[in-house]
Structure 1
Amino acid sequence: MTTTFRFHGHGTEYFKIWIVNLGLTLITLGFYSPWAKVRNRQYLYGHTELAGHRFAYTADPLKILYGRLLALLIFGAYLFAGMNPMLSAIMGLVMLFFWPWAMTRGLMFNARYSEYRGIHFSFSGSAVEVFILFFLLPPLTALTLGLVLPYLLAKQKEFVVGHHWYGKQQFELTLPAGPVYLFCLVAGTLFLLCLFAGFFGLGLVSTLMDLENNPLMVLAVLAPFYLLVVVFWPLFKAGLMELALRHSKLESLTFSSTLQWWRMSWILISNQLAIIATLGLFIPYAKVRWAQYRAETLSVAPATALDEMVALQEEELAAAGAEASEIFDVDLALGL
């Protein structure tokens, strides 16, 4: 028996929260952004349901603010050090190790304050692994003309998913190389074809029209490139996640998806067009629209295994007591 996720949010409700958050963030010159992030996530998490229970996001905005101030301080020191070659080299080395550590802390923080039925998630990956997989190896794929890039993408996904825990149960993911290479081959071919078509169209329009005296035509010509970036990348990430879902499990719990590529593409493209047409005001509606579709196409099985797992961990949690907070518990996921 399978259990499907549900999303109960509405665009108008979320718009009210989003617009207030945006206004307060602008008025406070960005200092309200941690509170805005928490309010946004609490709405999206709190309206996502699985087996009659909703998720929750319980982060403290002050900890997010501390993390961002720390990152700002380090980045400011890096810019200041640019006036001195020796200091610049030292701070460059510091930044090289700071970002992997910051990425790890962000994953830990967001997992730690995400919960389902009173049980928290967690992330156990290390900054060293993040440095190797996300900072050291990607540039080296150029030496193989990108041939090992799909394999590296699979390892990155395995690392992120496989180091997440739900209570004391660890997620498992092993991505076979064949499907990943096939997916990347198809995606890469489509991307190059779209890119070629865009440049061909740009050259054709440039030949037939005087773009210097038609600035609006320049924007119209560049629009396909914008859509290529903002639509293709989410589609690519969604495709990788689909592969990951098919090969992920949590103890005896498995995941399945009925996501349809044509409908997903239509939602992403129409969302972007609506965002452009409304000068960004459609953003909250776009997020709700995508969350609803993603939820209704995602399910877990068997439902009985989920109930048994949660019941067992609730007993262990009650016996062990609440988990103690870490000393350095701040969010450094600046882009999340």
Structure 2
Amino acid sequence: MDSTTHSQPESTLVGAKFTGDSKTYFNIWIVNIFLTIITLGIYSAWATVRNRRYFYGNTSIANHRFEYHGKPIQILKGRAIAFVLFAIYMVCSVYLPLVAALIALVIMIATPWLVNQSLRFNLGMTSYRNVRFSFKGTYGGAFTNFIVFPFLSVFTLHLMLPYVIKRIDMYIHNNISYGNQAAQVELSTKEYYKTVLICVIAGLGMVLVLMLIGFLMSLALASTAVLIPVGFVALNLVFVSFIAALYQGRIRNHIFNHANIGQVAELHSNVDEFAYAKLLVVNAFAIVFSFGLAFPWAKVRKAEFLAQATGVTFTSDIDHVVNTMVEEQSAFGEEASNFLDVDLSIG
């Protein structure tokens, strides 16, 4: 934690900074992978904590760094429980299908609780200026937004999906608190539909371009067939990275620019979608063609880019924020949601 203790004057806009570097993170990353392999995955809990402490500790606003307080043992216990339950389900799905169906039903019913536990753990282990974040979502709220509305969306051929995603984002962000200051976010359904429509149009245009380029490549490279699949991989990387950047950049800007944290801060984001797309495309190529070794470099580049696009306006004295009591929390919800492939990124 930095030693600076002065609060920000009112209405001061300050940018976020990321001071990590790819060389240092590469050393952390490669050691994490090596130790995870030789311990048959047990060290992955320590690897998770090291990764998060590095990125949180190198992210700062107004000369104050974020901190991550999660403990490896907490995460290891959560992973062990989630793994055992998942293994039981897989065995039952082969030998006892009725029991497996019952377990699947229980998992569906438990999903809202797992989502809340994941968010509660991750936010509760995060602090800024010695004040913890927290999550106060309820089972009913999570059940409605993660189960009911996605299910109803099926009957509209997923035309409701942008609205459903907006509801999920509002549920998550409106239940976040920083100390005793609750976050408030008001999002526009129109903006979500507009973003999805832009992505669909851009996607269709890129598909046509990819088909044309693929056809020309197949003619030009007919004698060197090995290059054709490589070309298609490259083109697909460009396609996926561009659409992801377009969607993520626009929605991130919309959420941040309509969010505040109680009476102390307003958030800002000015992600340039095309610059972000270029970054993701270069990152994807670097990771693929380096056989994964460029992953640390790519992750640091992304962290730097998003930090530079993030700002905070302090609207009152942040020193007056009261730290709420933090209970010892279990990482089981986080790890179970990982096994269930529930994406809960809020960054």
Is the pair's TM-score, using the shorter chain for normalization, greater than 0.5? Answer: yes
The answer to whether residue 199 in structure 2 is matched with residue 187 in structure 1 is: yes
1:285 is displaced (CA, Å) by 1.1
Aligned residue for 1:279? Answer: 291
Aligned residue for 1:32? Answer: 43
1:228 is displaced (CA, Å) by 2.4
Aligned residue for 2:63? Answer: 52
Aligned residue for 2:266? Answer: 254
Quick check: 1:7–1:48 contact (8 Å CA) kept in 2?
Answer: yes
The answer to whether residue 162 in structure 2 is matched with residue 150 in structure 1 is: yes
Aligned residue for 1:324? Answer: 327
Residues 130 and 200 from structure 1, CA distance in 2 versus in 1: closer, same or farther, beyond 3 angstroms?
farther
Aligned residue for 2:13? Answer: 2
Runs (4+) of structure 1 exceeding 3 A deviation are 199-211, 328-331
2-structure distance, mates of 1:244, 1:131: 22
| From 42, 56, 60, the counterpart of 2:53 | 42
| From 187, 190, 196, the counterpart of 1:178 | 190
Residues 53 and 266 from structure 1, CA distance in 2 versus in 1: closer, same or farther, beyond 3 angstroms?
same
1:188-228 deviations in Å (ceiling 9; x for gaps): 211222234334544555577659x8234223223322332
Residues 151 and 54 from structure 1, CA distance in 2 versus in 1: closer, same or farther, beyond 3 angstroms?
same
Q: Which amino acid aligns with 1:324?
A: E
Quick check: 1:119–1:167 contact (8 Å CA) kept in 2?
Answer: yes
Quick check: 1:77–1:91 contact (8 Å CA) kept in 2?
Answer: no
| From 167, 176, 190, the counterpart of 2:179 | 167
Quick check: 19-28 or 121-130, which moved more?
121-130
2-structure distance, mates of 1:323, 1:143: 42
The answer to whether residue 320 in structure 2 is matched with residue 312 in structure 1 is: yes
Quick check: 1:4–1:295 contact (8 Å CA) kept in 2?
Answer: yes
- Secondary structure at the aligned position of 1:55 is classed as strand
| From 130, 143, 166, the counterpart of 1:118 | 130
Residues 162 and 207 from structure 1, CA distance in 2 versus in 1: closer, same or farther, beyond 3 angstroms?
same
Equivalent residue runs for 1:195-214 within 5 Å: 195-202=207-214, 205=217, 214=225
1:140-197 deviations in Å (ceiling 9; x for gaps): 3232233322111111111111111101111111112222221221112112222343
Aligned residue for 1:96? Answer: 108
Quick check: 2:173–2:183 contact (8 Å CA) kept in 1?
Answer: yes
Equivalenced residue count is 325
Q: Which amino acid aligns with 1:163?
A: N
1:282-324 deviations in Å (ceiling 9; x for gaps): 11111111111211221111x352xx13x222xx44xx8x533
1:231 is displaced (CA, Å) by 4.5
2-structure distance, mates of 1:282, 1:85: 43
1:40-98 deviations in Å (ceiling 9; x for gaps): 11010001111111000010111111111111111111112122232122112122223
1:240 is displaced (CA, Å) by 1.2
TM-score by length of 2: 0.86
1-structure distance, mates of 2:258, 2:76: 36
Quick check: 1:201–1:221 contact (8 Å CA) kept in 2?
Answer: no
TM-score by length of 1: 0.88
Residues 85 and 15 from structure 1, CA distance in 2 versus in 1: closer, same or farther, beyond 3 angstroms?
closer
Q: Which amino acid aligns with 1:257?
A: S
Structure 2 residues not aligned, in runs of 5+: 1-11
2-structure distance, mates of 1:131, 1:215: 49
Q: Is the helix fraction higher in 1 or 2?
A: 1
Residues 53 and 225 from structure 1, CA distance in 2 versus in 1: closer, same or farther, beyond 3 angstroms?
same
Across the aligned residues of Structure 1 and Structure 2, the Cα RMSD in angstroms comes to 2.3
1:244 is displaced (CA, Å) by 0.5
1:224-259 deviations in Å (ceiling 9; x for gaps): 223323442344223211110111111232122232
Q: Which amino acid aligns with 1:188?
A: V
Q: Percent identity?
A: 29
Quick check: 1:15–1:284 contact (8 Å CA) kept in 2?
Answer: yes
Aligned residue for 1:228? Answer: 239
Quick check: 1:150–1:181 contact (8 Å CA) kept in 2?
Answer: yes
| From 277, 282, 295, the counterpart of 1:270 | 282
Equivalent residue runs for 1:48-87 within 5 Å: 48-82=59-93, 83-87=95-99
| From 230, 244, 249, the counterpart of 1:238 | 249
Q: Which amino acid aligns with 1:195?
A: V
2-structure distance, mates of 1:78, 1:196: 43
Residues 58 and 165 from structure 1, CA distance in 2 versus in 1: closer, same or farther, beyond 3 angstroms?
same
Aligned residue for 1:16? Answer: 27
1:7-31 deviations in Å (ceiling 9; x for gaps): 1111111111111111111211211
